[in-house]
Structure 1
Amino acid sequence: MANTLARGLSRDAVEELSRQKGEPAWMLQKRLHAWDVFESTAAPLGRRGDLGTFRAMANFKYQEVSPYIPADGSGTLPAVIQQSLQDALVNERAGHVVQRNASVVHVELDEELKHQGVILTDLDTAVREYPELVQQYFMTKCVPVESNE
């Protein structure tokens, strides 16, 4: 997907991102519900009061954020990522997904787990290939949108 989204976080940007991704209506509804919750939720209170008053938050420019930035399209992983994938700790794991900007550039899952039916993928692919699972669990039982997590 090319990055043709205008800068800024807004309800319109959520709708356009969903449209460009070709998402089903139910996914757009989940996104819009999450946007409504975001807009109506006050900043959390911390030890020193309203976190919305911190300088970092006060100066955050929502209208300058790019809601979607694809990978550069070269298909090659940066050397630091390639080195990390060779790390013994990573090799001991059953699987991993590498995402660069908003694009998945590498997915690996242990063959035994694949044969057991384990699915390891990004959300965009899951919406296309396993919509019934995403619709049942995403933003519902696992982590409800209202939980602020």
Structure 2
Amino acid sequence: MHYTPGCAVPAATIHTPSRFSAQYDVQSRQNLDACLASAARAKAQDYARENLRLDFADAEHWRALAAAAGFNLPAWYVTSTGGKTQGFADRLGLTIHEVYAATGCRSFRSFVEMNPTWPLFAHVGVLLEIAAELAAERTAAITH
């Protein structure tokens, strides 16, 4: 039986680089998955400590904005890409046109490339600030 990540199967065959294959029960496979995930997370954290800026004065403000928007900021060690940033912009209801008006970036990729050493949570924090500013402008326009 072939193992598919995320599927609970009674036993899984893991194909190794050699001519042998190993049989694992579900519990053993889950333990293996947990170990692999832990190693990948540790590697990502080491990379972030060495290559990304991690100290932001606005971090607490971003957490408050994220809580108000109904979601958590990404983990501190997650690297940023245009696609990941666009996903958060979509969740906030921001279009690239609104981001362009605020930042001058014509794509989410260029938005990320503008600050390549920032982790994803920092880029999402800026998006949260843009969304909050637009919401305040809409509220002011309605009340006046």
Normalising by structure 2, we get a TM-score of 0.24
* Larger Rg over CA atoms: 2
The structure carrying a bigger strand percent of its residues is 1
Higher helix share: 2
